[in-house]
Structure 1
């Protein structure tokens, strides 16, 4: 028996036997029928949006020449590039660090952070002009070059028909950004991801009233891709939480972006049995309200979240634009920094049902939903601290200026057996995350 603690939320973890637990508690058979090698497991029928149409098989059909075991970042990137879009399985052994040489390895000749701070401080530069016109040999120009070096080094492009799976209980990545872009049929399972740290955030004096630091690099990006299954992974900020970050110019020196972004017309995604923990802006579905992106997002961004643990997050679990998003049987555990879980964005059609929320004393259930745009949603059979709560009603009662409308306009059908909301914390806390794929 292991004990896993997510910043104040301790859970006894039955690492072995999660499938048996799910079967005992719920009677579901979705996890029972699987091939002996988890690397060749495909997504079960009706298991969320990623099962729609052709389903999601990843690299299950890979021949022996396209099965790889990798232990370094260079080996991993080479395996991704080998064989094009032929079915492939990449088994990750141990923890792979994409930034093992440290941030200094990416710095351009002459880059000096102290010089950057001196030139662009509000006292010296002001807050009226951004830095986009700064020449290449300026502190900002050298920062741009340094950032481009990091960008090239830490991003890994995932081809179609690929399964990436961790071997054992300690497999994962530090500082990496998986790019699942414009491809079909990808599976990512049993991996612990420590969010990439942006070594060279940009100061934008014009962002807000006081300026702001902006960072790049999501842990995983699903960009214009289809049929993607993310299962039994753990996403955290690891050794670099925002709480440990310094401030410059009176603003947090932000070095993290999102843990998972699903954008630019991506479709048919299932995220199941994952842990998303210790992060601020966690999951974004649809990245802009602008008509230039809306044209490609309308009718797409169909995503299912089920049996995930969202622990000690600030916001975006997820924030939704346009998509038909089904979120059921998830457990949300908040702390005092909590802002909201579900962000209701432009033309979104969110269904949030049969979920459990554990909120600290003094944090109202009205905060679970956050309205960015007027978009109806369905929110039924949700429990807060063990009691049934109408999330829309309590939100509207306490925040009438941002009233929400009920009725997402569609009914999810691609679900495995739905567990009782009261049972969700016991099931999810024991079985979600990397190292618990049984």
Structure 2
């Protein structure tokens, strides 16, 4: 029996026990502290003190990733609302801390817990109808928006950002309790911080009330949203595990079209940029979104050389249009992941993006797609050529992604080469794509395996 099978059985048991456990906490605003006892209400261990296992991907290098495991009892918090979460995060301080999320926390709330909507953030006379009239390309042209409505949009966007952007500092573990811990509308930002663990959380609908019109994007112009569910910016030693990230509640597909482009309200699900390094993303689920994961934010960001080392294993990418991931500069190990493109996904673009100086080492990943998506569509390259891809399963059959890309994929700029210049050394057992596909379907995402 493979280690994945054994783990999945244990996973189901622990997941059920965790779902039944709700610890006693103080009521009201602000975090409650646990001075002792069994803070996980009977599952037998405190998952908040878990550390990344040895050899579990790039985040295990150079001393590993421990998050807030060293926190004293005064810095172990259980939070149930935004006010409590903000206090526990302590402005992104680097004090070791464990923050345990119970239930659903809505970031779009005021300090008294009242729900805020886009009208509550709007200021300076901002009005979407007036904004559209002011910057209609037929009259405004291709210049960037400027003037009263753009100024008002920026001021309104700042008001929302003050509520929904939550900074996670160094030496922090942020973990959900049980099977239904949700951060709604929040944008977690790990900026120039290190030694961070985020586990067992659903991150849902980082909705931007005030996207900006960018006239020249893609030649036709496009809408740009501000928030990622999780954004690693110059972050080091980060472990993201059993997280679910999606647009649940406000899918961009349901948004109207303005200026011939979908009025996007979401940016990335998980972006790893600006020299971030030593990151492991495991057993997580990314779903129902356009641009899932960007690793490396620019073709000219040469300071990223030697950084952006990321491991992605046992994750599910479901109903993702593109960027699963798209990589610049980084050494990315991608193994035992599951990709599902639903039958009605007619806007699917690609899964693996090979960009400037990237080096992807892909092993034993499984793809399930409808008939209109071919294996040659799975990979797209821009200014990048290095992709080692073995053990790929496509609709139940083994395929050679490089051979298909180099023979048929007109979407790529040049032929790919399997020589990526490195071989992963930090990883657990690599199972077959078929075994991993089944295990990930059962065990990936928040509320599953711990």
Determine the structure 2 residue equivalent to 1:45: 54
Give the equivalent residue in structure 2 for 1:65: 74
Structure 2 CA distance for aligned equivalents of residues 19 and 266 of structure 1: 33
For 2:266 and 2:239, the matched residues in 1 are separated by 24
SS in 2 for 1:346: coil
Q: What is the distance in 2 between the residues matched to 1:318 and 1:377?
A: 13
> Could you tell me which residue of structure 2 aligns to residue 30 of structure 1?
none
For the Cα contact (< 8 Å) 2:242–2:448, is it kept in 1? yes
User: For residues 249 and 289 of structure 1, what CA distance do their matches in structure 2 show?
Assistant: 28
1:247-286 map, 5 Å: 247-286=257-296
Counterpart selection for 1:118 from 108, 126, 133: 133
Distance 2:335 2:186 in 1: 29
**Paired residue for 2:330, among 316, 323, 327?**
323
Q: Is the 8 A contact 1:195 1:259 kept in 2?
A: no
Q: Distance in 1 between matches of 2:9 and 2:101?
A: 20
Q: Is the 8 A contact 1:16 1:436 kept in 2?
A: no
Q: Aligned-pair distance for 1:305?
A: 0.2
- Unaligned stretches of 5+ in structure 2? 1-6, 15-42, 109-114
Alignment of 1:136-215 (within 5 A): 138-215=148-225
Who is 2:35 aligned against? none
Partner of 2:100: 91
Q: State the aligned residue count.
A: 405
3-state SS in 2 of match to 1:397 = helix
Is contact 2:91-2:167 (8 Å) kept? no
**Paired residues of 2:12 and 2:448 also in contact (CA < 8 A):** no
CA distance in 2, matches of 1:122, 1:287: 27
- How many angstroms does 1:20 deviate by? 7.4
Matched position secondary structure for 1:378? strand
Q: Residue 409 of structure 1 aligns with which residue?
A: 421
Point out where structure 1 has 5 or more consecutive residues left out of the alignment.
1-13, 22-33
Q: Taking structure 2 as the reference length, what is the TM-score of the superposition?
A: 0.87
Residue from 436, 441, 447 that aligns with 1:424: 436
Equivalent residue in structure 2 for 1:387, among 371, 390, 397: 397
Question: Which residue is 1:8 aligned to?
Answer: none
Superposed CA deviations along residues 111-166 of structure 1, whole A, max 9, x for unmatched, are 11111111111233123x212xx24xx11110111011112221111111100000
Q: Give, in whole Å, the separation in 2 of the partners of 1:264 and 1:207.
A: 21
Distance in 2, Cα, partners of 1:313 & 1:84: 34
Which residue pairs with 1:26 in the alignment? none
Distance 1:35 1:299 in 2: 41
In structure 1, how many angstroms separate the alpha carbons of the residues matched to 2:380 and 2:334? 15
